[in-house]
Amino acid sequence: MKGKYLKGKTVTFDGSQLTPLWACATADIVGDGIVSFRGPLDIPPDRMPDVENRGRDKSLIAQDMIHFVVEYFGCDLECAMLLRRLLVSVAADALRDETLEDVDVEREYDDIYAYMPDDEDRRRLSVSSATVSQVSGLVHLGMNTTVSGGPAGAAGLDEMGIEDMDSFAIEVLRRFIDEVKELKNNAGKTMPV
């Protein structure tokens, strides 16, 4: 598993990144990989893998997010869904380690929520999806950097105490790569029964 953060490059996530070999064409990553970048979110309904979201006939829009796109070869849909959960868990753990003490971070399935000081309701910080191509599992996770220009009830990394978005994105990349490498290492030293 390799990773790359596209520092200083703004990319709008529009769903087209969930195609086979996008990481290879964009970031020179051959094989399993994860690419992160900053930019808006603007996914039209016809590019949403989730049929419930497609049925709403409404684009998903956010002004600025940190995005993570994973491609994992030889992976079926269930594997892609599990990778999505792993990525969301890793990001939530990294966020808990970085945020202000009075902000509570909660992962529920494939989403990350924040309980901000003086807020009674939790606010959603992330969007994610998983699908498969002919050759690989594909995962996207987007985390709001700010609530400005996003949907109502959203949380932003800036208000949660994340000051250096680049360093945070790189930390999530590092942790996710470590998790996948350790999984492969454990599989390589386990005897079948």
Question: Which amino acid is it at 95?
Answer: L
Specify the number of domains making up the chain: 1
pLDDT digits over 151-191, tens only? Answer: 678 999 998 989 999 999 999 999 999 999 999 888 888 88
Name the percent of the chain lying above pLDDT 90. Answer: 72
Q: How far is CA 128 from the centre of its chain?
A: 6
Beta bridge partners of 2: 33
Q: What is the DSSP letter of 158?
A: G
Flag whether 35 is in a domain. Answer: yes
Q: Exposure of 180 by Cβ count < 10 A (0-12 exposed, 13-18 middle, 19+ buried)?
A: buried
User: What is the average pLDDT across 77-92?
Assistant: 98
What does the alpha-carbon distance between residue 45 and residue 32 come to, in Å, rounded to a whole number? 27
Residue from 159, 64, 165 nearest 115 by CA: 159
Flag whether 156 is in a domain. Answer: yes
Q: Which residue has the higher pLDDT, 79 or 52?
A: 79
User: What is the average pLDDT across 48-72?
Assistant: 83
Flag whether 18 is in a domain. Answer: yes
- Check which CATH number belongs to the domain holding 13 and give it: 3.30.930.10
Residue from 192, 185, 176, 189 nearest 72 by CA: 176
Per the CB < 8 A criterion, the answer to whether 75 and 137 are in contact is: yes
What is the pLDDT at residue 150? 66
Flag whether 81 is in a domain. Answer: yes
Q: For residue 150, give the 3-state DSSP assignment.
A: coil
Flag whether 193 is in a domain. Answer: no
Does residue 54 register a pLDDT over 70? no
| Domain boundaries, position 38 | 2-188
Confidence of residue 47 (pLDDT cuts 50, 70, 90): confident
Alpha helices in 63-164 (DSSP H): 77-98
Tokens 């990144």 belong to 17
As given in the structure block, the two tokens for residue 47 are: 């590019």
Per the CB < 8 A criterion, the answer to whether 82 and 136 are in contact is: no
Q: Exposure of 56 by Cβ count < 10 A (0-12 exposed, 13-18 middle, 19+ buried)?
A: exposed
What is the pLDDT at residue 73? 97
Beta bridge partners of 137: 72, 132
